[in-house]
Amino acid sequence: MSTLAVQTYLTPAEYIDVERKAVTKSEYLSGQIIAMSGASNAHNIITMNTAYQLYDQLLDRDCLVYGSDMRVRVQDPVSYFYPDVTVVCGEPRFEDDVFDTLLNPTVVIEVLSPSTAAYDRREKFARYQQIASLKAYILISQNRMHLEHHLREENQWRATEFQEFDDVVSVPSIECELLLGHVYRRVTFSN
């Protein structure tokens, strides 16, 4: 979850140096630092439910599921993000020998909040599309039962929406399914 950008501009190397020493996380959008805020109860439950479903299905396969502390780098323009859930299949590639910045995610999942939904749908998605290894971008609402699955098919992205408790979201790039009812298990929506 991100907040409004702070008007500080750093090079990618300066950002990484500062970020590795920081107490709180910030994303990096083409030189601009974007402070991250805390997550709500619903956000945390949805994130864990989703990660657990994927982890359970990928346990005996050559894929890893990362939580929100794994940074992802986009090359052009250089940007760094902290997705809520990231999956990489095959050998993970990292920016350097600190192993905290992933270069080749297969699936990226963001849990939306009212303050970040537009940013996640536009700026982040536009940059994530530059990652050749990325096959799926999934956006999950925390305010209502709603999941958007953006699937890369050759050079095109196709979006499908899911809103029903019994919906099953197929993620073919990692041969997994997300059960929407399980994604939202124990989530209470505020009115």
Contact status, residue 71 vs residue 36, Cβ threshold 8 Å: no
Report how far Cα 130 is from the mean position of its chain's Cα atoms: 14
Q: Which phi and psi (to 5°) does residue 28 adopt?
A: -130, 115
Domains along the sequence of the chain with CATH: 39-183 (3.90.1570.10)
- Summarize the confidence of residues 8-14 as an average pLDDT: 86
pLDDT per position as a tens digit, 58-92: 999 999 999 999 999 999 889 999 999 999 999 99
Structural tokens at position 116: 């970040």
pLDDT above 90 covers what percent of the chain?
83
Q: Which phi and psi (to 5°) does residue 42 adopt?
A: -60, -45
pLDDT of residue 3: 47
